[in-house]
Amino acid sequence: MKLSEEKIREMEKIYSGYWWSEEEEEEYREISSDPFKLLIFTILSQNTSGINTRRAYRSLNERFKIDAFSLSKAEEHEIAEAIRHGGLYRVKARKIKEVSKYLLENYEGRLDKILKMDVEKARKELLKLPGVGNKTADVILASIYGQRKAFVVDTHMRRIAIRLGLVNEKANYDEIEKKLKEIFPWEKLKGKEDRVAGLFWLLAKHTCRAINPKCEECILKEDCRFYLTQK
């Protein structure tokens, strides 16, 4: 299966309404311009809605300077207090403190030192950081290299990959990432790779919902194993 230009146009029509507001885009641009801030934002987003992630981030930003030095010195319970809008805030507070200390001890607090390595080496180093798994590593890499090189697989992407029949239930992160990347006509998407990957994610989230997927209105139904086997 490959996403055709027609399907991409349809995705643009259907899902652009779900795209972030200008204010949200601006805030994310500011966060993602600093890899450490993006790391903290991504840790806060784990198992948490977009709205609560932003609330937790803003509150943390009001209490602390978001850099490895300040957060490694902060009391864990104060970090937890600041981010309690998001779920699992105690666990996340511990991760934030640990990752800040690790970066301070190993990279002078500078995540950008890791990101200067080539993509594969950077990915390996990122995965050594406390609290950083495949998804978080790819979010950070994608902010630099784009989704074509660092395609982010989260729970929505995993679900749609399985339903489409691209991978089976037991597939690991790398397999899912590889198979999903193959459906994008990257050569034809120059300059809008991340936009199209984002639209596809919106389809996975809002149409290919975990419960009661809206298959009848899905633009991918003719290529979807789940849909075709349910008919």
Nearest distance from residue 172's CB to ligand SF4, in Å?
A: 21
Q: Which residue has the tokens 């996975």?
A: 204
Rounded CA separation 103/73 (Å): 12
Using CB under 6 A as the binding rule, whether residue 200 contacts ligand SF4 is answered as no
Nearer to ligand SF4, 89 or 227 (CB): 227
Q: What is the dihedral of CA 91, 92, 96, 101, to 10 degrees?
A: 10
Q: Which residue has the tokens 């993006």?
A: 38
Using CB under 6 A as the binding rule, whether residue 86 contacts ligand SF4 is answered as no
CB 99 within 8 A of CB 129: yes
Nearest distance from residue 182's CB to ligand SF4, in Å?
A: 16
Identify each DSSP E strand in the chain by its residue range: none
Q: Which residue has the tokens 């950008």?
A: 112
In this chain, which of 160, 162, 176, 197 binds ligand SF4, going by CB under 6 A?
A: 160
In this chain, which of 35, 86, 131, 213 binds ligand SF4, going by CB under 6 A?
A: 213
| Residues between 27 and 46 that touch ligand SF4 (CB under 6 A) | none
* Count of Cβ atoms closer than 10 Å to residue 222 Cβ: 9
Residues of the shown chain interacting with ligand SF4 in the complex, contacts defined by CB under 6 A: 160, 163-164, 207-208, 213-215, 218, 220-221, 224, 226-227
